[in-house]
């Protein structure tokens, strides 16, 4: 019988940390099922993605170690997916450690280490310098500095 491993994530700005986690999860079983959070579900959590859901789902589905990617639409979906797909192992990154222990009554729950120094959140912070509001603030500061410099001419 196949050992099915299940995980969930937003997978925005797909990076090496995502790939490492998915590969480690696949190594735990025979079949990797990945729930990808929809834009609507992310909005309900107060999160906004850079990459739209349809593209994130397609990216994850085309990762070699992923056998099936499905939409994640709400928190309560996990238990139903575990039963529906006969999941043996539910795995997440260790930043979620302890959050899904209630699922231990229906499968093994594991929390795997994250890849150091990489996350979608840190990538978004780096990209925020390109945000229009930030650029407008920089222009305003430059204008103030120019005024000060002009006084010394």
Which CATH number is associated with domain 4-116? 3.40.50.620
| Per-residue pLDDT reduced to its tens digit, 2-53 | 899 999 999 988 888 889 999 999 999 999 999 999 999 999 999 888 889 9
Distance CA 122, CA 127 (A): 9
Position with higher pLDDT, 97 vs 138: 97
Residue 8's pLDDT is what? 97
| Per-residue pLDDT reduced to its tens digit, 50-93 | 889 999 999 999 999 999 999 999 999 999 999 999 999 999 99
Residue 151's pLDDT is what? 74
Confirm whether 3 is a catalytic residue: no
- Domain residue spans in the chain? 4-116, 119-153
Confirm whether 99 is a catalytic residue: no
Residue 96's pLDDT is what? 92
| Per-residue pLDDT reduced to its tens digit, 108-131 | 999 998 876 655 565 556 555 556
Q: Single out the catalytic residue among 3, 45, 84, 99.
A: 45
Say whether pLDDT at 137 is over 60. yes
Q: Single out the catalytic residue among 3, 26, 47, 64.
A: 47
pTM for the model stands at 0.77
Radius of gyration of the chain measured on its C-alpha atoms: 21
Sheet strand arrangement including 31-37: 68-72, 31-37, 4-9, 87-93, 108-112
Say whether pLDDT at 105 is over 70. yes
- Average pLDDT rounded to a whole number, residues 131-151: 68
């Amino acid at each position: 019988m196949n050992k099915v491993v299940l995980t969930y994530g937003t997978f925005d700005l797909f990076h090496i940390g995502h790939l490492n986690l998915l590969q480690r999860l696949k190594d735990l079983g025979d079949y990797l099922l990945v729930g990808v959070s929809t834009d609507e579900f992310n909005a309900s959590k107060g999160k906004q993605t850079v990459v739209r859901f349809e593209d994130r789902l397609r990216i994850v589905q085309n990762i070699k170690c992923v056998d099936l990617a499905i939409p994640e639409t709400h928190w309560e979906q996990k238990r139903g997916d575990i039963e529906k797909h006969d999941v043996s192992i539910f795995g997440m990154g260790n930043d979620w450690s302890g959050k899904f222990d209630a699922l231990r009554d229906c499968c093994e729950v594991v929390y795997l280490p994250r890849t150091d120094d990489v996350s979608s959140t840190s990538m978004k912070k780096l990209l925020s310098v390109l945000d229009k509001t930030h650029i407008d603030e920089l222009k305003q500061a430059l204008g103030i500095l120019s005024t000060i410099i002009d006084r010394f001419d």
